[in-house]
Structure formats: C-alpha cells, structure tokens
C-alpha cells in the first residue's frame, strides 16, 4: 500500500531544508522497502513548524514539524506512515492545529492543502467555480458582485476594487489591460508570494475574471525579481492553464479571450507604486507619473488599465463563487472580508494568518504569534511595511481596520506585522526609514530625494548628541515638509515611522548611539 506524504515546496520551507527532508524520506523509504508517494504541496503558512511534513491517513492528514533531515529515520521508526502520535514532533491532525483552526481562510483556504501545480487538485477544491460563474454573467453583473463584497484594494491604498473596475469598464477603448501588482516590496510581507507559489491558479482565475469584467484581453503580472521560486511556479501554472483552456484565445469554449504574461521587476521598491510600475512595464525608468489621469483611464501603453494587488485579485474567485454578500459578511465597518496578516520579525510563531477585519493587534501577536522569538518583552511593532508607523504598547489594542489605524496615523498597508523586542534601538529604526528612502526614492521630487538624505544626517547628529533639541525640531519640520510636499507616498509616508519614534519612543533619541 502506498502512503501519501506531503512536504512543502515553498520559499520559507525550502529555506529551512524541505528539499533535504524530502530526499531523506525517499531514501529511507527505499531502504525500508515501503512505498510512499511524495506530494510537494504549498505551505500552510505555519512557518515555525516548517518543514511541516504531513501524512495522509484514514483519519485525515496528520502533521509533523519542524522536521529536520536527521529526524526522518526516527519519525519512520515511531510510525510516521500510520500517523502515530508518539513522536514529540507530531502536531496532530493538521486542520486541528489551533493556529490554523482559529483562522478564517477564504482566500487562503487551499494553500498548503493542494499540489500547487495540479489542475485536478485545484478543481477538486472548488477551483474555477468563480470563473465558470463569471462566464455566464455580463460585465456589469460581475462588477456588481465585486461591489457588493465591499472589497478594498489589499496593496495599501484600500481603494474599492469594484469602483476601479467600473471606471475601466466605462472607459471606451479597443485594448484594455489587467495588471497584477506582485511587487510585494514591504518588509514583513509574503502573502503575495504564498499565493503565487502555493495556489497559483487562484491568481490566474482572479485575473481572468477581472478581464471578463472590464473587457481586457491581456494581463501582466509584475513580479519582483527577489522571488525566483514564485516566478518558476507561476510561469509553469500559466502554461498548464493555457494548455487546459482556462487561459488563451477561447476560455473554456466561451469565445472570450484572456492572455497572461509575467514580467520581472528589477529590484526597485518604488515600482510597487502603480504608476511607476506601469512605466517599468513599458520599459522605462520607474518614475512616478502625475495623477490624473488615473491608470483606470490612461494606464499601460496609454490604455484603460486595472492595477490590482495579488490579494485583491485572489479574493475575487471566492466573491464570484460564493457571492459578494458572503464575503461582505466578514469584517467590521467599511473594512469588509478578510485580511491576510503576516506575522514576521521577532516572533515565536511567525506565519500567515487570515482573519476577518476587527481582531486586535495584541490578540494576533499573543494568541497566534506567541510573543517574541527571543522570549524578551515585545517593545514595538511596525505594521504596513517600511512606510508604516511603529506602534507602542498603548496602541496594540487597536482593531485591525483601515479607519481605526488611520485615526492614529498608522496604516494597515499590505498586512505585514513586524515585531521587535526590547533590545531594539528605535533611533536606529528611524534612521533606517530615512535611509531606505534615499536608496529607493525615484528622484522625481525634492522633498523625497533630498529630504531623506537630510533626514539621515539630522538623525545622525541627534544620535551624536549634537545640538539635540534644535536638531529634533529640524527633524520634525523636515518630516512635515516631506508629508506635504511629496508627489507620492514614498516621500509622503517615510516620515510616518520617524514621527512615530519621535512621539512614542522619544527616550531613544535622547541617548547617544551605542557603538557597534
């Protein structure tokens, strides 16, 4: 009898040795003369347990982790193939691991469960249900469904997706485009990568539906060059989807066309900004464009273009499959549906947590994250990437909701939650925010290009104890100038982390820098 085993093939699992574990299992099985079938699934996103090995038993899938290659022989001795619970690495039935069980996975319902490249597996788990339904609807009806879901863009700006699509539908043009923003530049985020590596047909389905909704026959995925495995897996998925008729000139015999291509970025954070991204796709420097015109009116090659984040597009198959209302039933206030939170940095149990909007940051960091990795007290949390504020303990009870965060000058962004313990030097973090802007500014406007360089210098003077009060006042001024005078959020939000340090962690700016 052949036993099915699952060993993830996903960047973090591989970075922790999943390939070596898979090899060891095959070698041991052969030596023992037992038959195993290894499935290289995606990751469930429970990274502290990776490599997470699962075995299929009559009682469901049983999880073991984190498994090192040298654990394999012992696990087999202890009855891995029967799903025995005698090994301390046994986590019990996968679906019952509390971290997973407590989530509300709509977009990520399939990740880690299936073989990412198997179309059969995808279809067996509700895949292409949304697309099939969309093929029977007219454009306006598809968009109405998305509007009813209340979905707001998950890339950062939280603009309503249905309204964006409506603008593109209403713009008359011979050629329109769907552009997927897979630049995922924020530190602490990996959810876009997980979709592309672990459930690529989900994004393909979402983009095809977007194409039907606005009348676009060509899509591009702009993927960052830092994600080589995502590129490999996603390209293979496109080829297979095309061969099976889910993409191409005649989607599932409907007479409707949608073509998809991946384009690689080249290491520029600013190319995540949608107009820079379009410039880059056109083969130019990634310089931010003035708006208006909006990309929805004049986007790629001057044509009406939907630019959406991976997670926005990946939410669409559920919305079409189950109806917009089913999605809107999750969430709070004007933040509908679920949010993909990514627990990162100094965290005990890091990973992907999909939850309806409204949970508090503290619940997330304590109940899911289990506190810091080092076991030291948590001191600061940066939410929403390098342009997001650092939140002190007094703000950890904020509900995860776009408006609640905006009220305190914070952002949810792409859902990255980066935890720092009490060894962090917040002056150093403030300096880094400015430094990052000097490296990544597109250079188009002065407050951002020059202001960030000045920002680094002023913080250095503060840390050196040089006319500290005067320089702190100068830094406050500089931040205001950048917020008010920058053309885009790169320069306009770089002050957020800096200002949050000045406000909530002022002592660190009063101390001389520790020599390293």
Ligand X SMILES: Cc1cc2nc3c(=O)[nH]c(=O)nc-3n(C[C@H](O)[C@H](O)[C@H](O)COP(=O)(O)O)c2cc1C
Which residues of this protein are in contact with other proteins, per CB under 8 A? Answer: 11-12, 14-16, 47-48, 50, 184-190, 193, 225-229, 263-269, 280-286, 301, 342-347, 350-351, 373, 382, 386, 416, 418-421, 424, 429, 432, 436, 439-440, 516
The residue (of 303 and 308) whose beta carbon lies closer to ligand X is 308
- Separation of CA 203 from chain center: 13
- Residues in contact with ligand X, shown as a per-residue x/- string from 162 to 201 under the rule CB under 6 A: -------------------x-xxx----------------
Query: Could you tell which of ligand X, other proteins, ligand SF4, none binds residue 156, using a CB distance below 5 to 8 A set by kind?
Result: ligand X
Distance CA 396, CA 379 (A): 11
Contacts to ligand X from residues 354-383, by CB under 6 A: none
Binding range to ligand X, per CB under 6 A, among 152-160, 226-234, 389-397, 423-431: 152-160
Query: Could you tell which of other proteins, ligand SF4, ligand X, none binds residue 309, using a CB distance below 5 to 8 A set by kind?
Result: ligand X
Query: Could you tell which of other proteins, ligand SF4, ligand X, none binds residue 441, using a CB distance below 5 to 8 A set by kind?
Result: ligand SF4
Query: Could you tell which of ligand X, ligand SF4, other proteins, none binds residue 312, using a CB distance below 5 to 8 A set by kind?
Result: ligand X
The residue (of 188 and 337) whose beta carbon lies closer to other proteins is 188
Query: Could you tell which of ligand X, ligand SF4, other proteins, none binds residue 284, using a CB distance below 5 to 8 A set by kind?
Result: other proteins
Q: Where are any strands of DSSP class E within 285-332?
A: 305-309, 331-332
Binding range to ligand X, per CB under 6 A, among 65-73, 367-375, 422-430, 488-496: 488-496
Query: Could you tell which of other proteins, ligand SF4, ligand X, none binds residue 449, using a CB distance below 5 to 8 A set by kind?
Result: ligand SF4
Which H or E run contains 382?
strand 378-383
Query: Could you tell which of other proteins, ligand X, ligand SF4, none binds residue 8, using a CB distance below 5 to 8 A set by kind?
Result: none
Beta carbons within 8 Å of 35's beta carbon, 6+ residues apart: 1, 2, 3, 29
Asked if 157 touches ligand X (CB under 6 A), the answer is yes
Asked if 148 touches ligand X (CB under 6 A), the answer is no
- Residues in contact with ligand X, shown as a per-residue x/- string from 94 to 113 under the rule CB under 6 A: --------------------
Q: Per the structure block, which two tokens stand in for 309?
A: 């984040």
| Mode of pairing for the β-strands spanning 60-64 and 90-93 | antiparallel
DSSP state of 513: P
Asked if 451 touches ligand X (CB under 6 A), the answer is no
Query: How many chain residues bind ligand X (CB under 6 A)?
Result: 21
Strand partners, 340: 354
Nearest to 226 by CA among 195, 259, 182, 260: 182
Give the shortest CB-496-to-ligand SF4 separation in angstroms.
13
Q: Taking CA 402 as the corner, what is the angle to CA 401 and CA 405, rounded to the nearest 5 degrees? A: 85
Selected from 11, 312, 335, 372, the binder of ligand X by CB under 6 A is: 312
Give the shortest CB-418-to-other proteins separation in angstroms.
5
Q: Are 227 and 186 spatial neighbours (Cβ–Cβ below 8 Å)?
A: no
Distance CA 66, CA 131 (A): 37
Query: Could you tell which of other proteins, ligand X, ligand SF4, none binds residue 227, using a CB distance below 5 to 8 A set by kind?
Result: other proteins
Asked if 121 touches ligand X (CB under 6 A), the answer is no
Q: Name the phi and psi angles at 288, rounded to 5.
A: -65, 140
Nearest to 339 by CA among 128, 151, 99: 151
Task: Kindly calculate the radius of gyration of the chain based on its CA atoms and give it in whole angstroms.
Answer: 24
Distance CA 188, CA 58 (A): 38
- b or e along 47-64 (b: 16 or more beta carbons within 10 Å of the residue's beta carbon)? bbbbbbbbbbeeeebbbb
Q: Per the structure block, which two tokens stand in for 376?
A: 């030291």
Q: How many residues make up the chain in this entry? A: 516
Q: Are 121 and 54 spatial neighbours (Cβ–Cβ below 8 Å)?
A: no
Asked if 154 touches ligand X (CB under 6 A), the answer is yes
Asked if 338 touches ligand X (CB under 6 A), the answer is no
Provide the binding-site residues for ligand X, judged by CB under 6 A.
153-157, 159, 181, 183-185, 270, 272-274, 307-309, 312, 488-490
């Amino acid at each position: 009898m052949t036993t099915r085993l699952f060993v993830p093939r996903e960047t973090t699992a591989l970075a922790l040795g999943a390939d070596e574990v898979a090899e060891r299992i095959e070698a041991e099985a052969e030596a023992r003369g037992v038959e195993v079938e290894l499935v290289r699934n995606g990751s469930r996103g429970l990274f502290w347990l990776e490599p997470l090995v699962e075995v299929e038993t009559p009682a469901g899938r049983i999880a073991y982790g984190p498994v090192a290659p040298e654990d394999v022989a012992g696990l087999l001795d202890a009855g891995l193939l029967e799903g025995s619970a005698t090994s301390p690495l046994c986590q019990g039935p996968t679906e019952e691991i509390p971290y997973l069980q407590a989530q509300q996975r709509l977009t990520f319902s399939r990740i880690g469960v299936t073989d990412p490249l198997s179309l059969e597996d995808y279809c067996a788990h509700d895949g292409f249900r949304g697309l099939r339904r969309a093929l029977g609807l007219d454009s306006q009806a598809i968009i109405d469904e998305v509007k009813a879901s209340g979905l707001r863009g998950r890339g950062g700006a939280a603009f309503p997706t249905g309204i964006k699509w409506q603008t593109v539908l209403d713009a008359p043009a011979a050629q329109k485009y769907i552009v997927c923003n897979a630049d995922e530049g924020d530190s602490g985020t990996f959810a876009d990568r997980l979709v592309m590596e672990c459930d690529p047909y989900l994004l393909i389905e979402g983009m095809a539906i977007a194409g039907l909704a606005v009348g676009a026959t060509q899509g591009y995925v702009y993927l960052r060059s830092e994600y080589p495995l995502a590129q490999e897996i996603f390209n293979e998925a496109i080829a297979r989807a095309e061969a099976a008729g889910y993409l191409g000139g005649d989607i599932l015999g409907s007479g409707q066309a949608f073509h998809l291509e991946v384009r690689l970025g080249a290491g520029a954070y600013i190319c995540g900004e949608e107009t820079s991204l379009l410039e880059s796709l056109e083969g130019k420097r990634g310089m931010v464009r003035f708006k208006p015109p909006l990309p929805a009116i004049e986007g790629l090659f001057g044509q009406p273009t939907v630019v959406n984040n991976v997670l926005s597009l990946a939410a669409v198959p559920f919305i079409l499959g189950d109806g917009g209302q089913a999605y809107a039933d999750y969430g709070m206030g004007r933040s509908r549906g679920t949010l993909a939170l990514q627990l990162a940095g100094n965290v005990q149990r890091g990973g992907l947590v999909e939850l309806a909007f409204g949970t508090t940051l503290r619940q997330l960091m304590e109940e899911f994250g289990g506190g810091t990795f080092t076991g030291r007290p948590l001191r600061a949390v940066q939410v929403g990437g390098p342009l997001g504020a650092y939140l002190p303990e007094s703000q950890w009870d904020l509900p995860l909701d776009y408006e609640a965060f905006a009220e305190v000058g914070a952002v949810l962004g792409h859902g990255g939650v980066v935890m720092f313990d009490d060894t962090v030097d917040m002056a150093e973090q403030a300096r880094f925010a400015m430094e990052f802007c000097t490296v990544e500014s597109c250079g188009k406007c002065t407050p951002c290009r020059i202001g960030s360089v000045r920002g680094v210098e002023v913080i250095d003077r503060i840390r050196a104890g040089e006319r500290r009060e005067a320089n702190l006042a100068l830094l406050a001024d500089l931040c205001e100038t950048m917020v008010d005078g920058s053309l885009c959020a790169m320069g306009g939000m770089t002050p957020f982390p800096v200002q949050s340090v000045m406000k909530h962690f002022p002592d660190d700016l009063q101390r001389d820098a520790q020599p390293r």
